[in-house]
Structure 1
Amino acid sequence: MSPAASAVPFAAIGLDLGGSSIKYGVVDQAGKLVESTFSHATTPAGAHPQAVAEVMAQIISELQQLTGSDLFGVPVGVTVPGIVIDGVVHSAANIDDAWIGLDAVALLRGQLNREVSVLNDADAAGMAEVFAGAGSFAGAPIPGSTLVLTLGTGIGSAFFRDGNLFPNVEFGHLEIDGVDAESRAAARVIREENLSWDQYIERLQRYLSHVEFLCSPDLIVIGGAVSLDHEKFMPQLKLRARIVPAQYNNAAGVLGAAHRAMNH
């Protein structure tokens, strides 16, 4: 290892794969995002695994130039919009079906030439909140059960107990009143169905009451763009759990992925 490499102040790289873009950034030794490195690249058309891996390699090359470091030995955390078990992808949302059954860790480790951790994108966003955001206190997870929900085009979910993740929890796909929950309570329905806040609150209350019955969280963190308007709906919700807006939205996947890489 060169002297310059041994002095690298960076702890991990986070890569957040989505259907249209790959968000990325570098996290320092304190677990904080280096803001100057946070950006995004276009996801290759079709999002085939090999094409994505090549774009990620290019991203790391650009980060090396940007930071003035070879980032030697700095691990990478990668999110995938699908179920991930022991590094193998078992479902694929808005990415090529070739991901299904793929050992993503093996593919990316070979392409990126460094240690790689792969996890579900909603789990990564949840980790950002639980270890550094609205679900944390003094740099540690708040004790008890925490449910992180991202309300957007669908509903992403991540569930924790004392900071321990229960991976691949798909609470957005619960059946409520005979339909998929996210088709009724995802934030997109406000615009698509021209709902008033009162109408949306009624749907969200129905959904959250059911989820609360199933897993009894102590804290519910709501993310997604709709959380920026939290004062319009959160005070009207009647739940046993405390409910708060997420601290991170756009960068949550990058931070959570990097955290997993740092501590895997």
Structure 2
Amino acid sequence: MVEENGSIRTLSVDIGGSGVKAMVLDITGHPVTERARLDTPQPATPEVVINAIVVLAAAQGEFHRVSVGFPGVVRSGVTETAVNLHPDWIGFDLETALLKHLNKPVRVINDADMQGFGAIAGKGVELVITLGTGFGSALFVDGKLVPNMEMGHHPFRKGETFEQQLGRAELEKIGEKRW
């Protein structure tokens, strides 16, 4: 199960509104494989997104465990919201489903939280903002995550949310300069 040098390999998966990405990382978080990407299947139901993850995982070689970033609130591996995906994700136990498909230990958290863990210094108050198909955020205090912040869905201005004003759809609508 462990590499010759004693390192655990983690399949890191990012589920996004426009793409599903995967790569294998070593124990220190450095890439072992090239990043692979598939367009997020439409409609983006759990079944078709899981199938895309299985395809990506098969092409990544050996790994021992799986970490997944999901674009919504996640509690104990269950997806609670899914604004940029299909409504069937609400209440879906993604962690258990992927465990059954990949036969490896799986952990699922919010995508911005996952990216934040890779970016923070771990001291003081740190806010991570992610811009992709949607608007993500993660807040950390001394390296500890403040869970389920989901700032993107809070009111921002003009009666719209941060996501409505700063997500990819708005960028494409008004252009990069104005955005």
TM-score by length of 2: 0.84
Q: Contact conserved, 1:10 with 1:26, CA < 8 A, in 2?
A: no
Q: State the identity as a percent.
A: 33
- 1:149 partnered with 2:129: yes
Letter in 2 for 1:52: V
Give 1:28's match in structure 2, choosing from 26, 29, 37: 26
CA separation in 2, counterparts of 1:170 and 1:6? 37
Query: Is the deviation greater in 74-83 or in 144-153?
Result: 144-153
Aligned length: 177
Q: Which has the higher helix share?
A: 1
Q: CA RMSD in A?
A: 2.6
Instruction: Write the deviation string for residues 30-50 of structure 1: whole angstroms up to 9, x where unpaired.
Output: 22123x421212323312212
Q: Report the residue type matching 2:29 in the other structure.
A: G
The one-letter code sitting in structure 2 at the alignment partner of 1:62 is: A
Which residue does the alignment assign to 2:147? 167
Greater RCO structure (CA 8 Å; 6+ sep): 1
Q: Hey, what's the Cα distance between the residues in 2 that align with 1:23 and 1:152? A: 13
1:44 matched to 2:41: yes
Question: Residues 85-129 of structure 1, C-alpha deviation per residue, up to 9 Å, x if partnerless?
Answer: 111111112222111111111111111101000111121222221
Structure holding more strand per residue:
2
Task: Name the aligned partner's letter for residue 22 of structure 1.
Answer: V
Unaligned segments of structure 1, at least 5 residues? 65-69, 131-135, 201-264
Larger radius of gyration: 1
C-alpha contact 2:134 2:167 (8 A) present in aligned 1: yes
CA distance in 1, matches of 2:105, 2:88: 22
Deviation at 1:15, TM superposition (A): 0.6
Residue 20 of structure 1, CA deviation:
2.6
1:91 to 81, 103, 109: 81
Q: Which amino acid aligns with 1:112?
A: L
Offset at residue 146 of structure 1 (A)? 0.5
Please state if 1:125 is matched with 2:122: no
Q: Quick check: 1:55 aligned with 2:52?
A: yes
1-side partners of 2:55 and 2:177: how far apart?
A: 44
- TM-score if structure 1 supplies the norm length? 0.59
In the other structure, the counterpart of 2:14 is: 16
Per the TM alignment, residue 170 of structure 1 is displaced from its structure 2 partner at its CA by 1.8
Unaligned runs of 5+ in 2: none
Give the letter for the 1:118 counterpart. V
- 1:107 counterpart = 2:104: no
Native 8 Å contact 1:172 1:180 kept in 2: no
Change (3 A) 1:41 1:54: same
Q: What corresponds to 1:253 in structure 2?
A: none
Distance 1:148 1:100 in 2: 24
Matched residue SS, 1:148 = strand
